[in-house]
Amino acid sequence: MKKIVSIGFLFFITSLWASQPRKVLIIGIDGLRTDALQQANTPNLDALIASGFYTYESWHEGITVSGPSWSTIMCGVEFPKHGVTSNSYSGSNYNNYPYFTKRAKECLPDLYQVQIVQWAPMSDNVYNDAWDQKIKVCDGCGANSVSAAQTQLQNANLDVMFVYFDECDLTGHSTGFSPLNPAYINAIQTVDGHVGSIMNALQSRPNYAQEDWIVLITTDHGGIGTGHGGNTSTERKIWWIGSGNYPVANQLTGVSDPGSYAMGNHNDVTALGNPSQADIAVTALDHLFRGTECDPFNPIWDLDGQSWLDSLHVEAPVGISENKPKEISIKLFPNPTTDFLSVWFENEKNETIIPLIYDQLGNQVMDFKFTNVNLNKLNIDINKLAKGAYYLTVNIGGNNITRLFTVE
């Protein structure tokens, strides 16, 4: 009898592990210039945008080359930490700053994680990345990527998948990265079709209704002429899509340029309002770790990104509290503080938020531009503020709420 009970218990535990419901799909589209994406006809990306969080106004904070950019996207840190500054991947520091997939497995060792890439260096030159499978298809062969992804999506135990498409970048290099180039637009529309095929396969999973997938899509850089790697706006302007459960598309606009480590003018405070490439890894970890003991912001990991999971609003469907709206309120902690201030908002109605910080003389000392985005938590680096008392004013949906805090 005792034996039967323990077998039953073991089975229960095993099925819990096997059915980890929180799952991540990241689709990477190499070299997709932001203004060209807006120009192209992309019904499948639009469908993800329709209930999700997105921006066309994010800024690249590193080197606009694939090796360093994808490393930032997958590691959650910028190149001064992951060390990749070129497509040779020399100087890589993945032992200290690995892919998020490695961090995910440190806490959830049973995750099954697969990457499907076309561009070989991303597979061959990356180590310590904890993928269970690294699948490589020929460069530019989007249909092969799709078919590999469809096969993987038939595996009920799949937890994390990264699928990469190179068609836009290849076409940009051969005929021009431009919204006015029909060949480039055509490549974008082809990749959009691939995204649709993958989403169909994802939504056809037998247990899809019981699973909680987050889908994150981004590019590594834009382009100018037939190249990239510089610091022009068309190379640095990037976009970002996260699936969510909003009733309407939730667009982040008015994002200030935080500068970049490549240009030597990176501004940490402005960067808080910029959905950056490093946010993809942190958002993915936050999603996988919710409801577990795992900490997606483990300070030892020294991540640069922030999580946008609360902005995607995947935790609770919108509308639950519509009949009984909570009052808008904010909470600050720690207070007094020395270097860091966390601000929690009750923002059930997804109002526009504009936080400002003033000193006691009424001079504005910090501002942020979060618009049309539901934020429930904001971490503010206040290292640059002198000791003293300050006012944090948050405008939520036209109402100002002010709180005093002290820097010690």
Which residues contact Zn ion by CB under 5 A? 31, 169
Under 8 Å between Cβ of 86 and 258: no
Surface-to-core class of residue 176, CB atoms within 10 Å of its CB (0-12 exposed, 13-18 middle, 19+ buried): middle
Residue 2 token pair: 């005792």
We find the least distance from the C-beta atom of residue 121 to Zn ion, in angstroms, to be 12
3-state class of 403 per DSSP?
Answer: strand
Give the bridge partners for 213, in sequence order: 23
> Considering beta carbons, is residue 31 or 355 the nearer one to Zn ion?
31
Owner of token pair 């100002």:
400
- Residues 285 and 51: their CA atoms lie apart, in Å, by 21
We find the least distance from the C-beta atom of residue 229 to Zn ion, in angstroms, to be 8
> Considering beta carbons, is residue 31 or 242 the nearer one to Zn ion?
31
We find the least distance from the C-beta atom of residue 173 to Zn ion, in angstroms, to be 6
> Considering beta carbons, is residue 101 or 171 the nearer one to Zn ion?
171
Give CA angle at 48 (44, 52), nearest 5°.
165
We find the least distance from the C-beta atom of residue 164 to Zn ion, in angstroms, to be 13
> Considering beta carbons, is residue 169 or 192 the nearer one to Zn ion?
169
We find the least distance from the C-beta atom of residue 136 to Zn ion, in angstroms, to be 18
We find the least distance from the C-beta atom of residue 30 to Zn ion, in angstroms, to be 6
Where do the DSSP E strands lie in 271-387?
A: 329-333, 340-346, 353-359, 364-367, 377-381
- Residues 23 and 212: their CA atoms lie apart, in Å, by 6
- Centroid of chain to Cα 266: 19
The DSSP annotation for 202-270 comes to HHTSTTGGG-EEEEEEE-S---BTTB--S--HHHHEEEEEE----SS-EE-B-PPP---TTTT---HHH
We find the least distance from the C-beta atom of residue 169 to Zn ion, in angstroms, to be 4
Question: In this structure, what DSSP letter does residue 386 have?
Answer: P
- Residues 7 and 11: their CA atoms lie apart, in Å, by 6
Give CA angle at 164 (85, 257), nearest 5°.
50
We find the least distance from the C-beta atom of residue 62 to Zn ion, in angstroms, to be 15
> Considering beta carbons, is residue 116 or 168 the nearer one to Zn ion?
168
- Shortest Cβ contact with Zn ion: which residue? 169
- Residues 375 and 396: their CA atoms lie apart, in Å, by 10
Which distant-in-sequence residues (6+ apart) come within 8 Å of 365 by Cβ?
Answer: 357, 358, 359, 385, 390
We find the least distance from the C-beta atom of residue 304 to Zn ion, in angstroms, to be 23
- Residues 253 and 185: their CA atoms lie apart, in Å, by 24
3-state class of 371 per DSSP?
Answer: strand
Q: Tell me the residue type at 193.
A: G
3-state class of 338 per DSSP?
Answer: coil
We find the least distance from the C-beta atom of residue 222 to Zn ion, in angstroms, to be 10
